[in-house]
Structure formats: C-alpha cells, structure tokens
Chains A and B, each alone.
Chain A
Amino acid sequence: MRIVRLDMTKLEIKQEEVPEQYRFLGGRALTSRIVADEVDPTCNPIGPYNKLVFAPGLLSGTGAPSSGRLSVGSKSPLTGGIKEANAGGISAQRLANAGVKALIIEGAPAPGKWYVLRIDQDGESLTEENELAGKGTYEVVQALRAKHGEKTAIISIGPAGEMKLTNAGVSTCDVEGNSSRYAGRGGLGAVMGAKGIKAIVIDSPSYINAPVADLERFRAAAKKFTSILTGHPVSGEGLPAFGTNVLMNVISEAGALPTRNFSRGRFEYANAVGGETLAEVAVQRGGLATHACHPGCVMRCSNSYPMPDGTVCSPIEYESAWSLGPHCEIKDLDIIAKLNYICNDVGLDTIEAGGTLGVAMEAGIIPWGDGEKAVELLEEVGKGSPMGRIIGNGSVFTGQAFGVSKVAAVKGQHMPAYDPRGAKGIGVTYATSTMGADHTAGYSITANVLKVGGFVDPLKKEGQVELSRNLQIATALVDSTGLCLFVAFALLDNPDGLPTVVEMINAQYGLALDVAGALDIGKDTLRAERDFNAKAGFTKAHDRLPEFFKYETLPPHGEVFDVPDEELDTVFNF
C-alpha cells in the first residue's frame, strides 16, 4: 500500500511509503490523524495550506460485508474545525484495490484551471481538463466513465465546489454511476475546488482483493459478521425493506421530527414522505425499494426513485427527505426527489441545503411548503447568482444575510433530522461533536427511540451524556474500519458483533488487538480532533446548542433542551 501526495502548487505527484504510525489506521482515524499532523489549525480552509485527505477504511476493499466506506478529511470551510465526511459508493473499494492507503492533496494551482487526477494500480496521472468546468456531477461521471471505463469510481465536485461555497460536498458514485453518494457535510467540496481538482478517477482490477495477512481466518470472521448483520432485525430486514426513510413515521410519532424550522415535533404529512410511501411509489414506477451503494453491502439501505419525468434519484435518504420535506413543510415526495437531485448535481450537502431552504422560508423569501419556489431558489446555486451564493453558503450564512435568529446549527453546521428537545441524547451529540451538529457522530436515536443497545428515555436529561460519549467513541472506531455505520444496530445488540469486527482487523493486519484496544483507536481519534479544534479556536462555548432550544418548548411534548452545560463539558472525559 502507498500514500499518494499530490502537490497542486507544483503540479507534482509523489508516492510515499506508509509511515509506521499510520500502518494500522484507516478511514476516519487516518484522515483525522493526517489532518492533525499536517494541517495548521489556523489556516484558511480554502487557502493553499489546507489539505484534503481521502482514505479507505481499514477493512475496505476486502470481502468484509458493508465495508466500502470512504473517509474524507480536512479543515472545514463550514465549521472552521476539523472535518471527517464519510461516503458510501465504490471509491473506497477502488482506492484500496489500487493499493492506495491515503491520498493527500495540498497546495493550490493558478486560479481558473481544472484538473482530473487518475489513480490505478500502476500509478497516478494529472491532466488539465478545463472543459469539465461548470458541469454538474452527473455529466462529469458520464463523461469520465466514457473515457476511462464504465466501472471506474469517480469522485467529483459540482459548480458549488468550483465556486468554493461552504455547503459544497464531495460526490462519489455507486456501481451504476449515480453521483449521489456524498461526503457531504462541512463544505469539503469547496476545499477540493480550491485545489483545482474537478474529479478523481479510480480504477482497480477488483473490489475485494486488498491485501489480507491471514485470508482463511479473515474469511471465517467475515462470514460470521455477515450472519450477525443479516440476523439482526434492523440490518437484516428493516433496512433492506424500507431504507433509512422508514424513520420518518417513527420519529414523527415520537414527537422528535423537526417541522417548520424546529417549531414542532410532528408533521401531519410524515407518512406521505416516509419510507413506506417511498418504497411503494418507487416500485410502482419501476424503481427499487432496496439497493446497495457498493458491492458487498448486505444491508442495502438505499433505493432508486424514478421521478415523473423518468430521471432517477438514487437514493433518497431519510435525512434528505426530512430536510427537504418536513423542515420546509413540503409534503410532496416528487419535489423532495427533485431537490435532492439538484443537490447531487450542483454538488451540495442535502442536510445543509434543506436546512438552508427552511431558513429562507423563515426569512419570508419563499413561502412555507412551496415546493416549486424551493426548486427555483435551489437552482440559483448552480447559476452562481448572488442569491444562489448566499443559499450555497449554508444555513448560518443565510440566516445572517436575512436577519433570522432561529437557525438550528452548531459550530456553523445545520442539524439533521431529530429535534434535540424530543430526543435529548442526540442533542448532546450535536452540541459536543467535533464535527458540528452531526447525527452520525453519536447516534443516540438508537437508545432514545429505536431501543437498540438499551433504552434511555428521550425526554429525560439523565443518562444522555454517557450514552452520547459511548456512542461517539464506538462511532469513531466504526468510521475507521470502513464499515457502514449501520452495522452499529447489530454491534449494539449482539455481544459477538464488536469482537468479530476486531477479529477481521486482526486477521487482515496480523494484529492481536482486543476490543478495548480497538476502542482506543476511537478515543485517540476523538482526542486528535478535539485538539485540532482547540488550536483552531474552539472553546466550551462552541459545545452548545443555539439558545432557542433552551427556552422554546417543542410540541407535542412541551420539552426544552435541559441537559446542563456543565454535563456537556464532561462528554470527553474518558
């Protein structure tokens, strides 16, 4: 395995040996470590001193089930802190099978030039391809696959990334070439744009032949892990049947579905935009209710939703359906699909984009629930109009531009699909995560609502800090393995789960880690990220929710977020 270093100032590519201290790191542990080691925390995120780091997880590119997650790390233009954005799709498997442990992009080229990096098992090459400038990601993938092969993985940015907007995401593609699998959060597309990289093409002879020290032992562990995943009711039945959007109804019933910019916890039309309806309509129109974002995923939570004009949005995830739906009081799945597709094509994170549309509605720029107007407003981003650039810079920026005080963001990043007053554990994660408001960083909804891994009453303040702490540590480990975070449902309920993950790592790398040793990878990663953020200027004051959550009650339960500040400050005591 090699580390590829691309210097965009000198337009020079180097292959480096993997240093000893990085050999047993992967995914988030590796990207966050490299960012912490190499990037000045006070640098300008879109300046030449920031770096953009890509790494497959420890298990990516092998026969381990659902292990094809890609980690992208950098200093975030949106939060000003460290960022690790994680994506599905096929690029992590391709990178690992091309022999790449990590790709580091640094420096900055002369403005106005756009490059494509190609990586395969024989090496790398960089070409200037200015004709791709301004193109949406779907077209970029099509053009590059026509040239480099229909099975290549394409990582790209849309016009939003080229304009260096702080809500620009990094797009990756699935087997079919949908540029919809995003390392979306935190504006990393703007960093890629600042490096002058329009796209990265990755080819490899296989998806599953990354080096493994003890193949027989590995196969046995991978087989066992597959049956652990397929044997759990959530990963074995629920996710494949209805996808992640099955949450819409349960979160609404629980009174924790942020509706009309976090003003109530239930949406009367939740069912019209939820997973059950989505699956039915998708199948009726010849789409798919279940789909794998990369070969070897056994949970297949994704879907493919044909829109009325025949264009397919694949997938529509719960978080996107929420931000572009109930958050804006939009109750039409076809509009949600269209908005989601625009985000994919223009190159935006869906959670932040929907969050921002809700802020625009709060400001009175467009009416609540008006899908057509929402489409028009979002289309402005790709055009680069002044209004489009405001929207493309995310919720906090838009709130400032239009004098809106009620913006549900932490560290500059908009909240996902759970109101912290209706599920207080997730509020602890939003407040304290190194990433800004991020549900995946410590998904307390498991114990608060889904009763996976125990039960902690969502409306009480007791137990939430401990819940979030334990989940944040475990998540930092899972994000480093390349396993999809959705394995967590089985890991939390099945005592054999985590030991089997550790067994796969041991067999692949010839290690003798135990579970505690593996969890240390998670703890070390969080420490490195916290340390980076402290040096970037973050204090306790940044580990807080916006103040309205403390005094505005949320119907139907009438709760406020009341986990004390002093308790929030103990989340990282481990």
Chain B
Amino acid sequence: MRLEVRAFAGLHRYIAGAVPGESFSLEVRDGSNGYELLHSLNVPVKEVFTFMVNGRRQDLAQSLAEGDRIGIFPSIGGG
C-alpha cells in the first residue's frame, strides 16, 4: 500500500532524500503499523513524539491503511 509521509522539525535528517516538511510517497507492506514504517525509514522510535495519521495522533502499534497521510514529529512546542 502507498502512504503519504512528512517528517518535521529535524526528523527528515534520518530519511534519505527527504526534504523537511515536504511530502513523499512510500510503498509499504499491506497492514504495516507505525513501528514498521519508522523502521523502514530509519527514524529512531525514541525520537518520535507525535505520530499523526490523517490529522489524529495514533499509536505506533496500530495498523496503517492505503493512502494514509502520516506526520512524524519530535517533541515540540511554542505558542
């Protein structure tokens, strides 16, 4: 299945060819979960504080679905 992925606030540095904040498309095994996605991207799990799927926080253990929009963030804040 294909996913639409974005990595923010410095996390792009783990992903070959990724541009900060810009989306890229990624083919993964059907039914993959967040852990598997991070593993295939080489992003260390401990650096990911917010894992967003279609605009909602989602547990890394939960399965992903075709066409999901994924956002990966470290711990951030502001206001």
Contacts and interface: CB of A to CB of B under 8 A. Distances in A.
Interface of A: 233-235, 237-239, 241-247, 249-250, 253-255, 265-266, 270-271, 274-277, 280, 301, 318-319, 439-440, 443, 445-446, 450-452, 455, 459, 485-486, 489, 556-557
Given A275-B9, A455-B57, A556-B55, A486 B21 contact: no
Interface in B40-79: 49-50, 52, 54-57, 69, 71, 73-79
Contact of A242 (B9, B49, B54, B57): B9
Contacts of A455: 57
Nearest to B23: A271
Contact of B52 (A253, A318, A445, A486): A253
A181 to B, nearest CB: 15
Contacts of B30: none
Given A254-B55, A455-B57, A239 B77 contact: yes
Contact of A271 (B22, B49, B75, B77): B22
Contact of B55 (A277, A443, A557): A557
15 contacts: A237-B74, A241-B9, A242-B10, A247-B79, A249-B71, A250-B71, A253-B69, A253-B73, A254-B52, A255-B55, A266-B55, A275-B9, A301-B78, A443-B79, A452-B77
B9 A238 contact: yes
A46 B57 CA distance: 47
A238 B10 CA distance: 10
Contact of B77 (A253, A459, A486, A557): A486
Given A247-B79, A255-B55, A276 B74 contact: no
> How extensive is the interface on chain B, given as a class?
20 to 34
B49 A233 contact: yes
Interface of B: 6, 8-10, 20-22, 49-50, 52, 54-57, 69, 71, 73-79
Given A271-B22, A318-B78, A489-B77, A249 B55 contact: no
Given A253-B6, A557-B55, A246 B76 contact: yes
Contacts of B78: 238-239, 243-247, 275, 301, 318, 486
A234 B77 contact: yes
In the A-B complex, list the 10 residue pairs whose CB atoms are closest, starting with the nearest. Answer: A244-B78, A271-B21, A233-B75, A234-B77, A255-B55, A253-B71, A238-B76, A247-B78, A276-B20, A489-B77
A238 B77 contact: yes
A234 B76 CA distance: 5
Nearest to B70: A253
A246 B9 CA distance: 7
Contacts of B75: 233-234, 237-238
A253 to B, nearest CB: 4
A38 B35 CA distance: 60
A250 B8 contact: yes
Contacts of B6: 249, 253
Contacts of A450: 50, 76-77
Contact of B21 (A265, A276, A557): A276
B55 A318 contact: no
Contact of A249 (B8, B49, B56, B79): B8
A265 B79 CA distance: 17
A58 B73 CA distance: 36
A451 B49 contact: yes
